[in-house]
Amino acid sequence: MRRHLKVPALLPALLRAFLHAVLAFSLALVAALLVLVGLLVGGVLSVTAFGPWLIAATVRGAVGIGAAQTFLARRLLGLEVEPPVRPAAAGLFGWRRAVLADRAAWRAVGWAFAAPVLAAPALVAACVSYVYGLLYLLHPLLRHINYTAVRAPDGTERRVSLEWFGVQMDTWPRWPAVVAVGALLLILGPRLVRLALLPYEKVLRALLGPGAAELRIRTLEETRAQAVEDAAATLRRIERDLHDGTQARLVGLGMHLTMIRELVAGGAEQEQVLSVVETAQGNAKQAVADLRSLVKGIHPPVLDQGLDAALATLAADSPMDVAIRVGLGERPPPAIEAIAYFCTAELLANAAKHSGASTVEVEVVGGGGVLSLVVRDDGCGGAVVGAGSGLTGLLGRIRAVDGTLECDSPAGGPTVVRVVLPFR
């Protein structure tokens, strides 16, 4: 079955790699010529009012061509490149000023000149792999059509269509080797093209994608928005829990105390008074338990004893068999400890609720200025960051302190989630 599944996928891979090699080089060559001509003419006319407008239009055209090349790489190669942030501008003169001052736009100009050189190796690899591969694969048919008559020393003529290093490959059992080489070239063609495209892809990401500063600003904006949303959600949860739980029980406690006073003042029997006292006492205990649960959701008191003790408490409360290993050379800051604790609690809850896991391993290691938290379970896998899952909320909390989250959860399991937090 596997053989029949892989063969149909080979042809689209061949076509995508070949199409990208041809189209990318052709588009890059045309783009480089247009941008070069536009900048040269704009530079010559820069003494007039038309020159800056032509330069701005050329730069903006380079951005558009870069976007087309990025689209081509995404559709044919599956290469994802985030678009850079474009500055907003109002009016024609504002648009020209924004384009000429946009560093990302000038990086697109640099890409227009570098793209033909970087796309050429892929085109050569595609031509060698596909053209020669097809010719060699069809050699048993073509050797009877395309041949050269060679006269031997004895005066006889022989037909030769292919020679490798002076060896004629038209006779048995040599020509099957030609077919095998052709098939091998066609099979390895996509990989050869992708290897030749590695410099192309790296430079494309660097020049047409967002810069390091832009990525940092975007990350800070997202984490700030996530932190604000988390804080608002936490306040709403606290207000709801206090209103629906603790406040209601305290109101009930006050009502029972009023009833006790009325019963005592009216000379009620002792059993009746004790019954109301027991009910009031139960409400008071439940109110205290609700307050403890609420405080635990904000900052667990067990964290004051250290992260190892807090994780041991989580393992004891989990329905699964949880193994905890903690190796911290120094104690992390309280904020980092809290994030590690809540991440572990959320991952254990997810494993118990969704994965069907029976055993979980939690490993916490500190060193090199970072805290590494790894949670492994033997569940069914399939966990994905995003799509409204609990991992999305964890990622927002982790990124707020410049941490990272990696999730490896293939179908069928196991699931491995690794969280790295800085010691600051």
| Exposure string over 211-245, b if 16+ CB within 10 A, otherwise e | eeeeeeeeeeeebeebeeeeeeeeeeeeeebeeeb
Q: Do 269 and 184 belong together in one domain? A: no
Does residue 100 sit in the same domain as residue 18?
yes
- Verify that 177 and 271 share a domain, yes or no: no
Is 214 within the bounds of a domain?
Answer: no
**CA distances (Å), 231 to each of 4, 135, 236, 385, in order?**
53, 66, 9, 21
Q: Is residue 215 part of a domain?
A: no
CATH number at residue 378: 3.30.565.10
Note whether 265 and 365 are same-domain residues.
Answer: no
Q: Could you tell me if residue 212 is inside a domain? A: no
Last residue of a domain, one of 261, 276, 298: 298
Q: Tell whether 122 is covered by a domain.
A: yes
Encode 125-161: b = buried (16+ Cβ within 10 Å), e = exposed: bbeebbeebeebbebeeebeeeeeeeeeeeeeeeeeb
Q: Do residue 128 and residue 252 come from a single domain?
A: no
Indicate if 310 and 288 belong to the same structural domain.
no
Q: Are residues 308 and 322 in the same domain?
A: yes
DSSP assignment letter at 242: I
d(CA 121, CA 199): 10
Note whether residue 216 is domain-resident.
Answer: no
Q: Provide the whole-model pTM.
A: 0.51
What are the start-end ranges of the E strands in 297-345? 321-327
In a domain, 342, yes or no: yes
Residue-wise pLDDT tens for the chain (424 aa)?
A: 333 334 444 457 667 777 888 888 889 999 999 999 999 998 888 888 888 899 989 998 888 898 888 888 888 877 777 777 666 677 788 888 888 888 888 888 998 999 999 989 988 888 888 777 777 777 666 655 554 444 445 444 444 455 555 555 555 666 677 777 777 877 877 788 888 888 888 888 888 877 666 666 666 666 666 666 666 666 777 677 666 777 777 777 788 788 888 777 777 777 877 887 888 888 787 777 777 666 665 667 777 788 888 888 888 888 888 888 888 877 888 888 888 888 888 888 888 887 778 888 888 888 778 888 888 888 887 777 765 556 777 777 787 777 888 888 888 778 888 888 887 6
Number of domains present in the structure of the chain = 3
Shared domain for 390 and 315, answered yes or no, is: yes
62 plus 171 within the same structural domain: yes
Q: What is the pLDDT of residue 229?
A: 67
User: 90 and 13 in one domain?
Assistant: yes
171 shares its domain with 89: yes
The reply to whether 12 falls in a domain is yes
Domain boundary among 161, 179, 207: 207
Picking from 282, 298, 314, the residue at the C-terminal end of a domain is 298
Pair of tokens at residue 131: 């053209």
Q: Evaluate whether 422 touches 416 at the Cβ level (below 8 Å).
A: no
CA distance linking residue 24 with residue 216, whole number of Å: 30
| Host domain of residue 120 | 2-207
Helix (H) / strand (E) containing 277: helix 270-298
Asked whether residue 328 is domain-assigned, the answer is yes
| Same domain assignment for residues 107 and 160 | yes
